[in-house]
A = this chain, B = another copy of it.
Amino acid sequence: MLRLALAQINPTVGDLAGNSRKIIEYIERARQLGADLVAFPELCLSGYPPEDLLLKQSFLADCGKWLDRTRAAACGIAAIIGFPEGRVGEVSNAAAFISDARLAGIYRKALLPNYGVFDEMRYFKPGDGRQVFEIGGITTGISICEDIWHYDGPPSIQAQQGGASLLINISASPYHASKGGERADMLAARARDYGAIVAYVNTVGGQDELVFDGQSLVFDPRGRLIARGPQFEEDLLLVDLDIAGRRRADRSTASTGPPIERTVIPITASSPKPAVETRNLEPLQPVAEIYRALVVGTGDYVRKNGFARVVIGLSGGVDSSLTAAVAADALGADNVIGVAMPSPYSSPQSLTDAQQLARNLGIELRILSIGDVLHSYLETLREQFAGRPPDVAEENLQARIRGNLLMALSNKFGWLVLTTGNKSEIAVGYATLYGDMAGGFAVIKDIPKTLVYELARWRNAQQQSEIIPARVMAKEPSAELRPNQRDTDSLPPYSVLDPILKAYVEEDRGLEEIISMGFDRDTVRYVTKLVDRNEYKRRQAPPGVKITHKAFGRDRRLPITSRYTETA
C-alpha cells in the first residue's frame, strides 16, 4: 500500500522563498499524515508561468538554490517538486524526485505547449521521457502537464507509461469553463489505456490573466474516479493506493532507442499510518465555477501585487455591479470602495441603483459629480471644437474624466482600480481607452454580456437578500454618455452579438460559416469588422481573468496593423 498525497498549492511567481516555505509546510503535513510520497504541481517552486524570468541566469541559479533548501527539508518521505532546471538556453521544465532529502532523479517535460497562452518552446528544451521511477516496488511514470495529453509524443513516454502501475502527472493547467470535464475524460482514458492508476495534481490560484483551479484527480486502472480535490483552493488530497507491485518489464522496454532509465526509491516504512479520509468532491456547477474563478483570479492579482483595497466606478449598471460583488467576495466588503460619478446625462435612477448595490454589498460609496470638470474641459476646447457637432469626442471625455478620478484616488490612497468592461464590449470596442478601460485589473473582461447576467442572477440566488438590485438586471444597457443613449443604438442585441463573437473570436470561424449558423449577413460583417478595428484598444487594456477557451491577451495575438478583411 502506497499512501500518496497530492499537494495542490497556490505559489506566487518569483517568490522562491515563499513558495519553498509553502512546499516545506505541505511536505511536513503529508509526512504527519503518513504519506509515502507527496507530489507538487508543475514549476511550483518558481510559480507558473515565470515567462522571461527564465531568461535571467540569476533567477535560474536562485531556483537551484531554493530547490536544494527545499529538498533538505524532505526527510523521511518522497516528494516530487516542479522547478526550472538548468542554465539560460538549456532550461528544462523539470520534476525533481526527492527521496528522504536526497535528489533521486529528475524527469524533464517532453511535450512543450506553444499555442494559446503557452510559450514553452521560447524557454525550454524538451526532455526525452526516458525516465521511470520505482517507488516501494511500484513502477511509477512521471509526466508534466502536456506530456499526458497526447499520444504523439516521444515513444519513450508511451513506453514509460505503458510499463508503469502508477502514473503521476504534475500540472499547471490554466482554467477555462468546461476544462475540468475535458481533463477528467482524458485522464480516465489514459488510466484505462495503460491499465494504470493515474494521479493528477494541479496548481491553484491566479497569475495575471490565468487562474488555476486545482481539482486534483485520481483514477483507478479501469478509469474510475477515486479522488477529487477541491476547486480553486489549496489542499492536500490523500489516497491509499493498493498496487500489486512491479509490472512486466517487457511493456517498459517496448520503445526503440536507448533504454529507459529506472531509478529505485525505497519507501521508509513509517510507524502505523493514521487513518485518513480520501475525498471525492463533486465539481461546482458551471456558473458557480466561473464565479469562483473570477473571485480567485481577482483576489490573487490584488494580493500578490501588494494591494489591500480596490476602487470601482459604479454606474448603476450590471457590469460594475457584478464586478463589485466579485471584489467584495474576493477581498471583503471593507476593502472595496465604490465611486458613483454622475454626469448631466446620467439618469437619477443610476445613482439610486449604485447606492442600493453598495448598501446590499456593505461597501463604501463615494459620489463625485463630473459635471464641473466636463464643463471646464469643454470650455478649454471651445475654440478647437467650434462649429463641430458633439460626437464621440464629448462622450469619451466623460468616460476619461471618470477614469482620471479613479486613478487620482488610486494614486492618493494606494487602491487598485478594477475596471468593469465585459468581453462583448471589449470585443467590439464599445469602451473608452483611458476611460472605463483605465485600471489595473479587468475582472470580467472575458465574460460575455449574456453571461454577466447569468453570473449576477447566480450571485443573487446565493443568499436570501438581494445583492444586485432587480432594477439593475431589468434595465436596458446604456453607456449614458449622451441623452437617451442605448447600447442597441449601435450594436445588435447581446443575444445575437454574443454567439457571433464566440464563433469569430473564440473559435476563429469564417464569416460564411457564421452566417450559415443563422445570423444576418450584414450583422456578421458589421460585428466582425468592429472586432478587427479595435485591436489597438485591447492591446492597451489591463489583464483580466481568462475563463473562456480564448481570452483577449496572450491567448489571442493579432496584429494591430492589419488590412485583412474577409469577404462575405
Residues in A160-182 with C-beta less than 8 Å from chain B: none
Q: Given A405-B380, A541-B540 in contact, is the A561-B52 Cβ separation under 8 Å?
A: no
Which residues of B sit under 8 angstroms from A51, Cβ to Cβ?
Answer: 557-559
**Does residue A369 face the partner (Cβ distance < 8 Å to B)?**
yes
Selected contact of A540 from candidates B16, B380, B540, CB within 8 Å:
B540
B393 touches A15 (CB 8 A): no
Stretch from A245-253, A319-327, A407-415 at the B interface: A407-415
Give min CB distance, A390 to chain B, whole Å: 10
Nearest residue (CB) in B for A390 is: B412
Q: How far is the CA of A396 from the CA of B434 in the complex (A)?
A: 13
Per the CB 8 Å criterion, the residue count for chain A at the interface is 86
Q: Indicate with 1 or 0, residue by residue over A494-529, a CB within 8 angstroms of chain B CB atoms.
A: 000000000000001011100000000000000000
Which residues of B sit under 8 angstroms from A55, Cβ to Cβ?
Answer: 508
A539 touches B542 (CB 8 A): yes
Selected contact of A566 from candidates B13, B59, B369, CB within 8 Å:
B59
Give min CB distance, A458 to chain B, whole Å: 27
**Does residue A119 face the partner (Cβ distance < 8 Å to B)?**
yes
**Does residue A58 face the partner (Cβ distance < 8 Å to B)?**
yes
**Does residue A445 face the partner (Cβ distance < 8 Å to B)?**
no
Q: How far is the CA of A376 from the CA of B511 in the complex (A)?
A: 48
Residues in A260-297 with C-beta less than 8 Å from chain B: none
Q: How far is the CA of A381 from the CA of B122 in the complex (A)?
A: 47
Nearest residue (CB) in B for A409 is: B384
Q: How far is the CA of A377 from the CA of B366 in the complex (A)?
A: 15
A13 touches B563 (CB 8 A): yes
**Does residue A403 face the partner (Cβ distance < 8 Å to B)?**
yes
Which residues of B sit under 8 angstroms from A370, Cβ to Cβ?
Answer: 380
**Does residue A368 face the partner (Cβ distance < 8 Å to B)?**
yes
B559 touches A208 (CB 8 A): yes
Q: Indicate with 1 or 0, residue by residue over A45-78, a CB within 8 angstroms of chain B CB atoms.
A: 0010111110111110010000000000000000
Which residues of chain A have a CB within 8 Å of any CB of chain B?
12-16, 18, 47, 49-53, 55-59, 62, 88, 114-115, 119, 121-122, 206-208, 300-301, 304-305, 366, 368-370, 372-373, 375-377, 379-381, 384-385, 388, 391-393, 396-397, 400-401, 403-405, 407-409, 411-412, 433-434, 438, 440, 508, 510-512, 536, 539-543, 556-566
| Known contacts A384-B412, A434-B438; 18 further A-B pairs (Cβ under 8 A) | A12-B561, A50-B562, A50-B564, A57-B508, A114-B114, A119-B557, A207-B561, A305-B536, A305-B560, A372-B380, A373-B373, A373-B377, A376-B376, A385-B412, A391-B411, A393-B408, A400-B407, A407-B433
Please list 21 pairs of residues, one from A and one from B, whose beta carbons are closer than 8 Å in the complex, sorted by A's number: A13-B561, A14-B565, A15-B563, A119-B119, A121-B121, A305-B560, A369-B380, A373-B377, A381-B409, A391-B412, A392-B411, A393-B408, A393-B409, A393-B411, A400-B400, A404-B404, A407-B433, A407-B434, A434-B434, A440-B536, A536-B542
